Structure 1
């Protein structure tokens, strides 16, 4: 940030408009250490880390036409972690950071609003924070540690020489006004069940072997993401059959899963802000039942085709409509907020049955590997979808986390039961009450 203010990126513009206690816009990335967190050392580390990310040292300010991020003169501090993650953060208030760092016991967690960044940005921030925390614990880095940290491109030992590039809105760089819009979405089947408030966001994490999952995916010629999305579809179909068995199939709604994709590998950018697109593989269950081996190729070919450079540019064009449309550009902020809220709630998440976001591999150099036991990724809560799924791998463990506002655990049961029958044995951990849910109890044995 050359100046004291910056525009929100194209995706980020959405989140202040829809922010509420129901739509908190907060996602979470956490690590569990082998030893208890030393909060004083972590606070010192955070003070060092935040200065390496000046585009995160901001607070939100409303303008006449758009929200902007303005330099925040305050210093962030560690807050005590709570049982329920991703709760409301009043970052529209002056001086409130759009992120927080939480700690309790042996857990360190960063919680970001999607207004500020995406999972990749949060991962780089957390890895840098861990490096600075390690430095505080040992009183400085040895030459060997420094070389190991420098070899990891996602750890900042100092302020990056690419700060301006990291602060860019990469959507604007790759926007092409000559490309036609892509098609819209159909209204999709949604999970049944009573919704809880977001201050009771239930989290269930299933830790499983990367090798076991990769073997299952490889048997079908799939990537890990494609395999997990296919399992997700199969679980949703089982639930839909139970819910809709008294209605003719022609009146069913199709299944659709939102799959956010990191664009940086395809469209080179150093941005530390949002730079992802949501793909939407779908399954039209009005046409009949799909066996798992029929679902897999549909997911595989859809995701591969949509990751074509030309299709990605088309989706960027579609996502940028609200920013470049001449009437919306000059509309007052309160009008924009009303329009964005209406579109998001009536046409946005209602087009999806679920969400699966895979952050990929969380790798650490050896000194930090000896510090960190496990990693988890919790997606933002959604009263519409009810449940979202976050995936991240660390070492030979892949962690699938279900963030749920639904009292029933039907999706988790069908998803994990399928994996267990396939020979993948999940180890469960979470914050559900008493850990006595009857549906999940067979999976713990």
Structure 2
């Protein structure tokens, strides 16, 4: 991040990474997006923005968390909380806050890029790469290339940056982002050649030395922190009581109520209904591009006079948190359930039968289908089970319930126990039983 794009009075490191002004002005942009919120929320949000402007991350977090509690379903408030976590050096919490901001409708390039950096700092490269690929058309090429490089795929970053350079975007920012991508890929010859075009000879060795120090695999969080000018701090994750799932919409409440009614027959045979589970990380993309010298793909531009503004890879985003930090923190008397042990998973064997396990309820068929894919990735035990998506009408609204079929009664109960131990929700029920509101013909697709 250069002095030209710095959002606070912090002195940026010599790495010189740069992002577009859309990210550089994150704090200012958030100031104008608070929307119509309760006075308490507006007051807390303003305090958070003031703390951010002064580089006081911890104070910004306290105020932003209060704003979220007052206006939990405001996308701008969630994004402000993400920016506060970044400033405080808490990347895992920032990734969660920005994910929830996007779930509420904020898909701006600023939010996408900041979330991708937070994910990268936490070592969640596959999620960061998928996020960037999904939003590539809206992201500046120089920013996309550097963000993809930091997401563990320097080959894709080099390809994007080289294409932009070849098509005429010949700027110091892009050249230095490309040089940094070469450095992280291990092509130091190309990195030196490009960096020398914008960095004076007396400073070139120091810059390359810093890049070399940051290129180690275990430096994921520090790479992002250095770029953003923040300090990595221990992070136990966003507090559970701030989780977006704890503040459902009226439609979600109606769907959950319908599921609970279906889950509590007189015989108490069924378990409590579940809400939608969190998204499952995407599969890592292959970084198969060859480590070719990109200098051969374009004509090297004429050397540019060195200016007073440090030039180098740039992106303007918030701070991150430790790689090993969990995403959520225990709160009050409701700790986050631990993940099922390997022994517990290994002991589970699905026996075939006429029972199903319901895993969630969604407003659209598309949402239900996507959720089934996430459930399969999260729970390999579903292999060979039958996908059952059932349309239901509850109080005049349509819902789509996602279930897996083909379980014996005991297996259904055991699988629900595994799901709940992992922190999810699950409902076991007999396939012959019609749940309240169910349409006569559910849509079912067998999975082999």
TM-score by length of 2: 0.24
Q: Which has the larger radius of gyration?
A: 2
Q: Which structure shows the higher helix fraction?
A: 2
Q: Which structure shows the higher strand fraction?
A: 1
TM-score by length of 1: 0.24
